[in-house]
């Protein structure tokens, strides 16, 4: 995990970064708060939220704003794709190569200067698929 040199890594930010790096669940600010509070019992939700926003603004972490759901946070800043369960809202990484030419193709077709892209896959996670299958059988 990298951090932007001009941003001071306070104890609070370090712990937020460490806790976020321990999970792959792409937690919400409330979930990060619950994780961090175990190590910093006096920290407030507002402090965690402000630090998450600042850390995402400076590129230390990713902020995912997927499908109109609560913002989620990801310690993996390298470009990668995500998939969201339409039933339970779970967000996972999709381990596939990034589409390297997509920015150039979009620029050629639109005449925009493309600065990046966001592709979100949607579907049903394994747990929700199993429930759907059980419901349709009955």
Domains detected in the chain: 1-77 (1.10.10.10), 79-138 (3.30.1490.190)
Chain segment 51-106, per-residue pLDDT in tens: 999 999 999 999 998 766 789 999 999 989 999 999 998 899 999 998 889 999 99
Position 133 pLDDT exceeds 70: no
Kindly indicate the confidence band of residue 4, based on its pLDDT and cuts at 50, 70 and 90: very low
Q: How far is the C-alpha of 125 from the C-alpha of 21, rounded, in Å? A: 22
CB atoms within 10 A of CB 45: 14
What is the rounded average pLDDT of the residues 19-40? Answer: 96
What is the rounded average pLDDT of the residues 42-57? Answer: 96
For the four alpha carbons of 35, 41, 43 and 46, in that order, the dihedral sign comes to positive
70 contacts: CB under 8 Å, gap ≥ 6: 28, 29, 30
Query: Can you give the pLDDT at residue 14?
Result: 96
Position 35 pLDDT exceeds 50: yes
pTM: 0.79
Weakest mean pLDDT among 30-34, 38-42, 96-100: 96-100
Query: Can you give the pLDDT at residue 99?
Result: 87
Residue with the two structure tokens 């951090």: 3
59 with 53: CB under 8 angstroms? Answer: no
DSSP helix/strand/coil, 136: helix
Phi and psi dihedrals of 68, rounded to 5?
70, 15
């Amino acid at each position: 995990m990298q951090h932007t040199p001009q941003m001071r890594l306070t104890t609070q930010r370090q712990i937020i970064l460490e806790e976020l790096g321990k999970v792959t669940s792409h937690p919400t600010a409330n979930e990060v708060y619950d994780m961090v509070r175990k190590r910093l019992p006096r920290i407030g939700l507002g402090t965690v939220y402000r630090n998450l926003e600042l850390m995402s603004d400076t590129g230390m972490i990713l902020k995912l704003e997927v499908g109109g759901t609560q913002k989620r946070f990801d310690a993996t800043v390298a470009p990668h794709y995500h998939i969201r369960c339409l039933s339970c809202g779970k967000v996972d990484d999709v381990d596939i190569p990034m589409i390297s030419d997509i920015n150039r193709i979009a620029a050629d077709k639109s005449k925009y200067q493309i600065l990046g892209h966001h592709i979100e896959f949607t579907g049903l996670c394994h747990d929700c698929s199993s429930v759907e299958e059980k419901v349709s059988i009955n």
